[in-house]
Amino acid sequence: MKAIIPAAGLGTRFLPATKCSAKELLPVLDKPVIQYVVEEALEPEGVDGVVIINSHDKPEIERYFSVDDDFESMLRSRGKGGLADAVHAASSLPVSFVYQDEPLGLGHAVHCAAEEVGDEPFFILLGDYFVPDRQMCVNMARVSEEHGGASVIAVAPVPADQVSRYGIIAGECVGSLPGFDATGEQEGAVWKVTGLVEKPSPEEAPSHLFIVGRYLLSPAIMDLLANQGAGAGGEIQLTDSMERLLENEEMYALVVDPKDGCDTGTPAAWAATNARMALASDTFRAAFLEELGAAAKDLA
Ligand code: G1P
């Protein structure tokens, strides 16, 4: 079973930093953002590989996940065995690449991995967000198992004035994740999805639950994506094919707390994520607080 990470975007929100290096390789502390997402993707039982949908303009992502014996030997010869191990660990992850040549939308990007996915259900993890405890996809797999292997997406409540930024679901609450006594929009509630709309106006939105960017989908979605027309924003939308999938298959949504994850989609969110991860890190916390204390003194 595979997990897909679309990573062919231009990274315009981070320009000029992303003019000649991929936003997916921006570090959170000492590791690139995309490595956190890859490690999260490999957590659910049964996932044995990650397929990154890349653009030919960003060969550095594939290079990052490739073995570089000379570089590792150089580090070891300088007594930096620990760093060599960290470099090697990244290149040992089961990651493969497919390339999207035209930026036609998320649905088009996902369809680029149709051959790699084959006849198995698969995860999609959007790369501007990662979940440090890696449990969100694991819980989605539990919901899927309870419902005969149906597709499951993660959703969360969003204020009415922000629905037009996201995919929004229609449906009804039908239960909760084992161990959660949740209903409605509470974390752990499980909904049966009856409709999906990409970037609706507040008047059109059928609920206030938005798609968070974690999907466990039936392989049947690939045939639908193959002939999906352009939707919101003129792009081939994954959400539109998911809406068509509902004609033949069941789909469920797990309500999650988006704050279980870290946002890296804008410079401000990325900076806050670095701070949050530094405070949670035994390696970096003390030095980070010292640096921050010095900066705060300068401000006072
Ligand atoms: C994509 C999806 C949308 C989802 C969002 C989550 O939109 O199309 O349904 O809610 O990710 O971040 P994008 O952010 O690419 O516009």
Model confidence pLDDT, tens digit, residues 121-174: 999 999 999 999 999 999 999 999 999 999 999 999 999 999 999 999 999 999
Distance (Å) from CA 213 to ligand 1 centroid: 6
- Written as one letter, the residue type at 103 is P
**Rounded alpha-carbon distances, angstroms, from residue 142 to 44, 109, 131, 169:** 9, 26, 17, 20
Q: Is the CB of 215 under 6 A from ligand 1?
A: no
Residues 6+ apart with CB under 8 A from 121: 1, 144, 149, 151, 216, 217, 218, 219
Distance (Å) from CA 291 to ligand 1 centroid: 35
Q: Ligand 1 atom 7: the closest Cα is on which residue?
A: 166
User: Which atom of ligand 1 lies at the shortest distance from residue 213's CA?
Assistant: 6
User: Which atom of ligand 1 lies at the shortest distance from residue 167's CA?
Assistant: 9
Domain range list for the chain: 1-130, 132-261
Q: Is the CB of 243 under 6 A from ligand 1?
A: no
Q: Is the CB of 207 under 6 A from ligand 1?
A: no
What pLDDT does 112 receive?
A: 97
Residues 6+ apart with CB under 8 A from 275: 288, 292
CATH number of 132-261: 3.90.550.10
34-42 average pLDDT score = 98
Distance (Å) from CA 237 to ligand 1 centroid: 9
The three-state secondary structure class of 120 is coil
- Written as one letter, the residue type at 254 is L
Q: Is-contact 279 285, C-beta < 8 A?
A: yes
Quote the pTM value: 0.96
What pLDDT does 179 receive?
A: 87
What pLDDT does 178 receive?
A: 87
What pLDDT does 296 receive?
A: 83
Tokens 């590792």 correspond to 72
286-295 average pLDDT score = 91
Distance (Å) from CA 289 to ligand 1 centroid: 34
The tokens for 32 are 């690139």
CATH architecture for segment(s) 1-130? Alpha-Beta Complex (3.90)
pLDDT in tens, 79-103: 999 999 999 999 999 999 999 988 8
Q: What is the dihedral of CA 164, 264, 125, 86, to 10 degrees?
A: 180
Q: Is the CB of 36 under 6 A from ligand 1?
A: no
pLDDT in tens, 244-268: 999 999 999 999 999 999 999 999 9
pLDDT in tens, 173-198: 999 998 899 999 999 999 999 999 99
pLDDT in tens, 195-215: 999 999 999 999 999 999 999
Are 1-130 and 132-261 in the same CATH fold?
A: yes
The model's confidence at residue 298, banded by pLDDT at 50, 70 and 90, is: confident
pLDDT in tens, 46-73: 999 999 999 999 999 999 999 999 999 9
Q: Is the CB of 9 under 6 A from ligand 1?
A: no
Average pLDDT score, the chain: 96
Q: Ligand 1 atom 1: the closest Cα is on which residue?
A: 166
Distance (Å) from CA 126 to ligand 1 centroid: 8
Q: Is the CB of 240 under 6 A from ligand 1?
A: no
- The closest of 140, 159, 160, 158 to 150, measured between CA atoms, is 140
**Rounded alpha-carbon distances, angstroms, from residue 238 to 70, 131, 217, 253:** 41, 22, 11, 15
